[in-house]
Chains A and B, each alone.
Chain A
Amino acid sequence: MAAAVAPPIAPAHVEEHQGATGLNTRKLLMWAFLGSDCMFFGSLIGTYLVYRGRTAIHPLPREVFDIPYTSVSAFALLMSSLAMVLALAAIQHGDVRRLKIWLLTTAGLGLVFIGGQIYEFTTFGAEGLNLSTSIFGSTFFVLTGFHGAHVSLGIVWLLSLFMLARRGIITQERSLDVEIGGLYWHFVDIVWIILFTVVYLIPI
Chain B
Amino acid sequence: MAAHPPGQTVEHAHPGAREYIIIAAILGIITAIEVAVYYVDSLRPILPPTLIALSAVKFALVVMFYMHLKFDHPIFTGMFLFGLATALFTFVGFLFLFGFVGVFH
| Chain A residues near B (Cβ < 8 Å) | 16, 18, 21-24, 27-28, 31-32, 34-39, 41-43, 45-46, 49-50, 67-68, 71, 74-75, 78-79, 81-82, 84-86, 89, 92, 94, 172-173, 175-176, 182-183, 186-187, 189-190, 193-194, 196-197, 201-203
Q: Which of B2, B62, B91 has the most CB of A within 10 A?
A: B91
Cβ of B84 within 8 Å of any chain A Cβ, yes or no, is: yes
Complex: A31 Cα to B58 Cα, angstroms? 19
Q: Which residues of B lie under 8 Å from residue A32 when comparing CB positions?
A: 79
Mark B65-90 against chain A: 1 for CB-CB distance below 8 A, else 0. Answer: 11100000101100111111011101
The reply to whether B73 and A50 form a contact with Cβ atoms under 8 Å apart is no
Min CB distance A137 to B, Å, is: 19
Contact of A34 among B23, B83, B91 (CB under 8 A): B83
The reply to whether B63 and A190 form a contact with Cβ atoms under 8 Å apart is yes
Min CB distance B70 to A, Å, is: 13
The reply to whether B62 and A189 form a contact with Cβ atoms under 8 Å apart is yes
Contacts A35-B83, A203-B47 hold; do A176 and B1 have CB atoms under 8 A apart? yes
Min CB distance B33 to A, Å, is: 11
Complex: A176 Cα to B75 Cα, angstroms? 17
* Residue ID in chain B nearest A200 by CB atoms: B38
Contacts A18-B7, A28-B75 hold; do A38 and B84 have CB atoms under 8 A apart? yes
Q: How many A-B contacts are there with CB distance less than 8 Å?
A: 144
Min CB distance A148 to B, Å, is: 19
| Chain B residues near A (Cβ < 8 Å) | 1-2, 5-8, 16-17, 20-21, 23-24, 27-28, 31, 34-35, 38, 44, 47-48, 51-52, 54-55, 58-59, 62-63, 65-67, 73, 75-76, 79-84, 86-88, 90-91, 94-95, 98, 100
Min CB distance A177 to B, Å, is: 11
Q: Which residues of A lie under 8 Å from residue B34 when comparing CB positions?
A: 71, 196-197, 201
Complex: A67 Cα to B6 Cα, angstroms? 47
The reply to whether B94 and A39 form a contact with Cβ atoms under 8 Å apart is no
The reply to whether B55 and A35 form a contact with Cβ atoms under 8 Å apart is no
Contact of B95 among A24, A49, A78, A194 (CB under 8 A): A49
Contact of B88 among A42, A79, A89 (CB under 8 A): A42
Give 6 CB contacts A-B under 8 Å: A18-B5, A23-B8, A27-B76, A67-B35, A82-B23, A89-B16
